[in-house]
Amino acid sequence: MYIQLLYMKELKKILKTKSEIPLERATVINIFYSNSWVKDELQLQLKPYDLSIEQFNVLRILRGQNGKAINLQDIQERMVNKMSNTTRLVDKLIKKKFVKRTICKANRRKVEIIITGLGKDTLIHIDPIIEAAEKNITKNLTQKELIQLNTLLIKLKNQ
């Protein structure tokens, strides 16, 4: 109970309110707040590479294809943020020469995307930076707490 009060007090301080917040609302607000904080921390690391988190996600999806092309719909399905405009993200990555767009030989209406050597090289430089940022973000949690947090987040989504 003491820990619960401590966290509620901390959340009220962040929100600059003295009002009581129902636990369910506080939980949802805290998830949103934490999401923004994590995104800001990661975006700070990607800024020198002129990449958004969503563009970085697309690059990692394409790298995971191991040299095989993938269409826009398949990229969209694998995106963490499903609301992203995949076409616009890919267009920006093409301008930066991180990816190439090709027309499928079997179906000329189908556009396929593949990561370039520059895209792969950029990820090689960024990977350790993002890994360090992720470790820094989660440094206050033990391995057991990280497992517990992931378990609870999955449980939250599986309604």
CA distances from 40 to 97, 101, 147 (A): 25, 30, 23
Amino acid 106: pLDDT: 75
> Mean pLDDT for the chain?
89
Average pLDDT over residues 40-60: 96
Are 53 and 42 in contact by the 8 Å Cβ rule? The answer is yes
Average pLDDT over residues 12-38: 86
pLDDT over threshold 50, residue 2: no
- For the chain, the structural domain boundaries read 24-157
* CATH number for region 24-157: 1.10.10.10
Average pLDDT over residues 111-116: 94
SS3 annotation, the chain: CHHHHHHHHHHHHHHCCCCCCCHHHHHHHHHHHHHHHHHHHHHHHHHHHCCCHHHHHHHHHHHCCCCCCEEHHHHHHHCCCCCCCHHHHHHHHHHCCCEEEEECCCCCCCEEEEECHHHHHHHHHHHHHHHHHHHHHCCCCCHHHHHHHHHHHHHHHCC
Q: Which token pair is 154?
A: 């999955």
Nearest to 100 by CA among 76, 65, 69, 63: 69
Average pLDDT over residues 145-149: 96
Looking only at the bridges linking them, the beta strands covering 70-71 and 99-103 are: unpaired
